[in-house]
Structure 1
Amino acid sequence: MGFAGAMAVAMTVDAIWGWPGVLFTRIGHPVTWIGRLIALLDRNWNRPADAPATRRIAGAAAALLVIALCAGIGGLVQSWLVPGWSRAVLLGIFAWPLVALRSLHDHVAAVAQPLQSGDIDAARLAVAQIVGRDPTSLNEAGISRATLESLAENASDGIVAPVFWGALLGLPGIFGYKAINTLDSMIGHRSERHLWFGWAAARIDDVANFIPARLTGLLFALVTAHPSVALSCMLRDANRHRSPNAGWPEAAMAGALGVRLSGPRSYHGAVTDEPWLNEGARDPLAADIGRGLRLYIRAMLLLGGLLAALALI
């Protein structure tokens, strides 16, 4: 079956079970383990008194250490497995915790349900679990927009990218990618503390997500009723996004649903004036979150089918 088959197994297991709460309570999750290591390095190596160049070098060393350690563990586990079809199944089981297919669906559905029933306060609490912007001022359109953007971006970061690197390199690929993604989420932002220390983590994440982000946008476009509209929107607007990668799945989602995404948003009381994706379209509403989830499911089914076909080849 190979690595592609193993990633199809991982997607299937996660779609059925997700990461059970009892496991999280007892042992946590691989991402939380990686996060503890990153936090330890951040506390000890990211010293505010050091010069910016020193902090940048320390951050690069920390990033490379975490990535190498995770990829190395993946390589060791992979080397212990006996060749054969059962090896691919076991590879898929080991890769399963690093594919957030069920978790993303459930977090987005948790926003859609109260919003559709008119409980704006519950929807704000739910959307705060998946986005960093200030939810207190968000109305129905703002909550829907934030949720669809998170769905599109996390479909790339949380499913397509780890599966892509896993299909190419096996466990070292998916373990190493998850380290990259966790580094970026923890230290790869432009805060005063992490502007220099997190510089390398952010750049590595940009490179690792370059192909998966565009692949995610393509998957969204292919499973919509009007692929040419979604593709046109993606190609036209993706580079307007502040991120070199997130604009691709978000623009494809906007075009596929016929709504506008991105645009101005508030972070910690400060409004950032971001350009619109699919400008001129209407604002999304609660019902569009359900449409986005159905688009996401179809795209993930297409991805799983492609992996299964590659495994058979």
Structure 2
Amino acid sequence: MSSIMLMSGAFLVEAVCGWPDWLYRRIRHPAVWIGSLISALDAALNLDRFSPAARRALGMLATLVVVAVPTLSAYLLVVLLPETPLGFAVEVTVASSLLASRSLYCHVLRVTQRLEHGDLAGARQAVSHIVSRDPTELDTTGVARANLESLAENASDGVIAPLFWGSLLGLPGLTAYKAINTLDSMLGYRTDRLWAFGGFAARLDDAVNLIPARLTGGLIALASFRPRHAPRRPESPLAQCGLAGERHGRVARHSAARPTRVCGYGGG
């Protein structure tokens, strides 16, 4: 079975079905399983008594373990599955669990609906599920901007990058990407405790997202219906400008013909 066929089927299944709540309640989710392994290694190896150099080395070891365990599991599954329609269905189902298009759509839609109904408190609560910042002080525009920034970032992390690596390297490649991305989301912060241990994982995540992030930027530019103007603008490398709002942000532009528009970027 070709990897492209696998990912096409997985994308279709995930877009239609997602990861059902009843299944999550029973067995959680593959990302949660990976996260549990990361938490266990972080608690066991990332100790204050170790020097920064030792924690960097242990962080590299933990990263290799976290990537290897699910990747080898996926490889064994592919080898052991029979080349039958049932085997194909199982592999597609597993691959679909590592995509997040439906989940991302539902979360972003939930925030949007709360804002449309004037429910700022509900919108803040909803957006807290997809951003890492504290949304309690955000106004309506701030919540909308955080929602769009998260959509821009997670379109790459949760959809385009998994499809890219799955199409290139099959289920093992898809699983390896998911492990790396989960490592970055849990350990890739520039804090005193985490950066020495998680810095390697963060840089590895940057590397595996290099091409998918640019593919995502191109798709956002196409979806914004402004791609032919982008090369003439100084902020054209900022793909999230296709999701720009109308309030001051990290980067702003102004012209006599258009009001000031925001190109907020950076995600959660």
Please say whether Structure 1 and Structure 2 have the same fold, judged by a TM-score greater than 0.5: yes
| Per-residue deviation, 1:119 | 1.1
Deviations 1:93-126 (A, max 9, x none): 2201000011000110110011011111111111
Confirm whether residue 279 of structure 1 aligns to residue 266 of structure 2. Answer: no
Q: Matches of 2:232 and 2:25 in 1, distance apart?
A: 45
C-alpha separation in 2, matches of 1:79 and 1:261: 53
- In 2, Cα distance between the equivalents of 1:232 and 1:94? 43
Q: Equivalences for 1:11-160 in 2 at 5 Å?
A: 11-83=11-83, 88-160=88-160
Q: What is the CA-CA distance between 1:283 and the residue it aligns to?
A: 5.1
Unaligned runs of 5+ in 2: 255-259, 264-268
Consecutive unaligned residues of structure 1, counting only runs of 5 or more, are 239-250, 264-274, 285-313
| TM superposition shift of 1:36 | 0.6
Matches within 5 A, 1:94-243: 94-230=94-230, 236-238=235-237
When residues 44 and 258 of structure 1 are mapped into structure 2, their CA distance, relative to the original with a 3 A threshold, is closer
> Partner of 2:245 in structure 1?
259
Structure-2 change in CA distance of 1:92 and 1:144 (3 Å): same
Q: How many residues matched?
A: 258
CA deviations 1:205-230 (Å, max 9, x no partner) are: 01011111001111122233232235
Q: For 2:52 and 2:165, how far apart are their aligned partners in 1?
A: 32
Name the TM-score, length of structure 1 as normaliser: 0.77
Deviation at residue 141 of structure 1 after TM alignment: 1.2
Q: Which residue of 1 aligns with 2:266?
A: none
Task: Report the secondary structure of 1:98's partner residue.
Answer: coil
Q: Spell out, residue by residue over 1:13-34, the C-alpha distance to the aligned partner (whole angstroms, 9 max, x if none).
A: 1111110000000000001101
Please report the RMSD computed on the Cα atoms of aligned residues, expressed in angstroms. 2.2
User: For residues 287-298 of structure 1, what are the structure 2 equivalents within 5 Å?
Assistant: none
In 2, distance between residues paired with 1:219 and 1:283?
A: 19
Q: Which amino acid aligns with 1:213?
A: A
Shift of 1:231: 6.0
Call closer, same or farther: CA 1:261–1:164 in 2, change over 3 Å.
Answer: farther
| 8 Å CA contact 2:14, 2:99 repeated in 1 | yes
User: Aligned letter for 1:252?
Assistant: A
| 2:180–2:205 CA contact under 8 A, matched in 1 | yes
Please state whether the residue corresponding to 2:197 is helix, strand or coil: coil
The 1:192–1:88 alpha-carbon spacing in structure 2 relative to 1, beyond 3 Å, is same
TM-score relative to the length of structure 2 = 0.89
- Matched to 1:120, the amino acid is L
The DSSP-based 3-state class of the residue aligned with 1:47 is: coil
Report the 3-state secondary structure (helix = DSSP H, G, I; strand = E; otherwise coil) of the residue aligned with 2:203: helix
Question: 1:138: Cα distance to partner?
Answer: 1.1
Aligned partners of 2:29 and 2:228: how far apart in 1? 40
178 and 261 in structure 1: CA distance in 2 versus 1, 3 angstrom threshold? farther
Q: Does 1:5 align with 2:5?
A: yes
> Cα offset for 1:148?
0.3
| Distance (Å, rounded) in 1 between the aligned partners of 2:222 and 2:21 | 34
